[in-house]
Structure 1
Amino acid sequence: MKLPLCTTLAAFSIIAAVHFTGSLKAGDTLVQVSTIDALVQGIFDGGVSFGELGKAGDFGIGTLDDLDGEMLALDGKFYQIASDGKVREIPATVETPFAAMTFFKSDKTLALGATESLEALQKRLDAEIPSENLFYAVKVTGSFPMIKVRSVPKQSPPYPTLTEAAKKQSLFTLENVRGTLVGFRCPSWVKGINVPGYHFHFLSDDRQHGGHVLDCTFTEGEAGIDTLENFRMLLPQDAAFLKADLTKHDEKALEAVEKLRK
């Protein structure tokens, strides 16, 4: 039986202070379950149900209990992209060991022309953000001549590290598909807590295909950027998390997992 989580406010959201402009409005907050370093170490037991997670947002990414595939939340619905490539809606009783959520409301919308790579898309988006020190939710819709995605298989205790689990990932190259990139841009100072830079998951318009995005091209699209002024964390209280050594951040391991293509 999994223990409940405790909540800790991890943002400097002091409304009365002169030098802080953030608010505590739900739509301005990134809510995260656990830390990326805990996931890298193989802490895959779920701790928050998707029924509860829906109270934290209608837009987000993450994974499922036992690292059972990729998770994407769009328009208030949760989707699992399993390692067999199939997309399924996630029941409210299923739990997650790691997720990031917000109530998406675009602060800026921009038209995107033909783009030759995920890296090029990220550079285009970086030109539009006011600061590299804040969090951003990013939604990109469009037509993709090519998009390379992956999903990871369900794991069983004793869990391997995320690096070992990702070596058995399933890769899918989709062609001429319309869909949505759902993701976040996190600041560099978030190392160990989340993934610095961009992290996207994809869902096709027909809800048949998706996964963690490794690369893409598209002919035309639109990007919405939502600036998130506050950050909250839900920290697990189970033995695996409480006893984990999270004093060291393995940046190379995380980068290998995020960009692993073989």
Structure 2
Amino acid sequence: MKFARQFTGELIGTFLMCFLGIGAVAVATLFGALTGPGQVGLVWGLAIAIGIYVTRNLSDAHFNPAVSISMILAGKMKVRDLPAYLLGQCAGAFLAAGSLWVLFGDSVAKNLSNNGLTMSTNSIGSAATIWCEVFPNTANGTVPMMVGAFAEGFGVFLLCLVILSLTSDENKGKPSSLIAPLFIGLTITVLINVIGPLTDAGLNPARDIMPRLWAACVGWGSICFGNNIMDTICVYVIGPFVGGIVAALVYRYILKPMHIKKNDDEVEA
């Protein structure tokens, strides 16, 4: 029963996050309905907050394998619960990618036709990027693989540090649990504004990999995993996991003891 509850919570929350967030990318790419990382990032932030509110009584509302690993290392989650979280996250992201294809598949075909492309002759700048993140995501700068991996990893480091700080009892300055999801969502919004122009700001291995797999299933071809699959894995998978791990260690062994010490000092005073 616990496995089913956690799996369902992560599936629904990750689905909502990816359907609404990647959906924002889709309407921006295909219809110009949203412009720039600011508007798209705001949708992502609200989508995450909504997902947390809907599912946090079922699971701890991670929606992200890197966050789940971070919570384990921070001592806030049991290793035995990890399979339910990972399976739910991957299933939710894959179902969201499929649902978006149903909605926008015809519009994608029109977009490719207008640009003289097909799914077998697509390019990095085509509608495929709705499902397949790319780096560099800019014509105005240079983003080597190591820079991309650092951007994604540091983004997840900040995200996990915020989540730990806003949900840990040791931090007496944290906001009410009623509004904490909004601040977590807004953290994603600002990260997308800073990192998005470099790497699309995936910040989540499940959110990145599962839409790529869907794109491969429907025939996008070699673009699904970028120009170099190892570079793609380093940027969008290894980078986020490293960032989450470092955040957990920093919070558990540096910030958490400081919070506890401050609380003890206040009691003694």
TM-score by length of 1: 0.26
TM-score by length of 2: 0.26
Higher strand share goes to which structure?
Answer: 1
Higher helix share goes to which structure?
Answer: 2
Q: Which has the larger radius of gyration?
A: 2
